[in-house]
Amino acid sequence: MKQRVFSGIQPTGKVTIGNYLGAIKNWVELQEHYENIFCVVNSHAITTKQDPQILKQHTYDMAALLLACGIDPAQSSLFIQSEIDAHPALAWILNCNIPMGEMERMTQFKDKAQKNPKNINVGLFDYPALMASDILLYQTDLVPVGEDQKQHLELARNVAQRFNRDFGECFKIPEPLITKLGARIMGLDDPTSKMSKSSKAQNHAIFLLDSPEEIEKKFKKATTDSQTSIVFDPERKGVYNLLCIYEIFSKKTRDEIEEEFRDQGYGLLKRRITEVVVETLEPIQREYTKIRSDEKYLLEVLNQGKEKAQSIADQTYKKAKTLVGLI
């Protein structure tokens, strides 16, 4: 039997090429090798203030974009988190088995609390418990995670191990699946910070639905340096970031790329990156428009994914509920 992979993405903000290269592209490639469950985690989104109608629209937008990028309903289950009530129900059971000290060590809460000082709510603090529930409900073998999510996965592993010890065998202990190439794409305006879909800076990120003109404009303004050689040097963060983006989109080796730009300037590098990114995103954008305009098809796919996921989730929740003595 294939190992099972679970992963989710929030429907807030526009999807960047960093999200695509660091997560979505990898999800698509995983489909050949694993049993996959992918989720639009809209319940996580409401830890920050959301307009209800916009959140609903963005949830469907995200599902359509995942399909357009290559998530195949014949190979993977794709569903919306809030459609399956076992997620918050299991999170409550897990809450009662997570020490406060362990939750207080979560660095992402501290980071988000600093960014949103007027909305430090219990849900934001408790986010990792719901994330653990997302993962453990599906008896997950592997979770594709970036470095910034490893701590949350470790919490899920810890609570699962304690639960199994204290109440009886219930959860698989998930392992991280960390992809190195493309896992950390940096901002075009600030190559010392990770490219983020929540950034408000105008030239920070390339979004998957950007027009060719917008993509060209942003790459032209991307941060480089005053040196002349174009080589993969991690110390030259701006150029290194651009070269990593070009490496993944062009599928060329680092030696081939350095030879291509030998004795060339940054202008050519930025033009070539623009060309290969536009070429890659054009069919995704075309497919997205097609899927998003066919709501019947989109809802059918999501309902199909929900049915597959719910059968697993309900079984796990029922077992956990019984083990802790709930009726």
Distances (CA, A) of 250 to 30, 204, 246: 20, 21, 6
DSSP annotation of 16:
B
Is residue 112 part of the annotated active site? The answer reads yes
Tell me the C-alpha distance between 2 and 246, whole Å: 33
* pLDDT at residue 182 in the model: 56
* pLDDT at residue 179 in the model: 67
Q: Which residue among the candidates 194, 218, 270, 306 is catalytic per the annotation? A: 194
Is residue 197 part of the annotated active site? The answer reads yes
Tell me the C-alpha distance between 4 and 16, whole Å: 26
Q: Which residue among the candidates 14, 56, 197, 217 is catalytic per the annotation? A: 197
Single pTM value for the model: 0.92
- Average pLDDT along the chain: 93
User: End-to-end CA distance of the chain, in Å?
Assistant: 33
Q: Does domain 212-289 have CATH number 1.10.240.10?
A: yes
DSSP annotation of 225:
-
Place 197 in a pLDDT band, splitting at 50, 70 and 90: confident
Tell me the C-alpha distance between 186 and 179, whole Å: 16
> What residues does each domain of the chain span?
4-183+295-323, 212-289
* pLDDT at residue 160 in the model: 98
* pLDDT at residue 153 in the model: 92
User: Could you report the per-residue pLDDT of 273-301, keeping only the tens digit for each?
Assistant: 999 999 999 999 999 999 999 999 999 99
Tell me the C-alpha distance between 262 and 233, whole Å: 14
Least confident of 103-117, 199-213, 259-273, 307-321: 103-117
Q: Which CATH class is domain 4-183+295-323?
A: alpha beta
Identify residue 253 by its one-letter amino acid code: T
Give the residues across from 142 on adjacent strands.
5, 175
Q: What is the DSSP string of 18-71?
A: HHIIIIIHHHHHHTTTSEEEEEE-HHHHTTS---HHHHHHHHHHHHHHHHHHT-
Tell me the C-alpha distance between 255 and 327, whole Å: 63
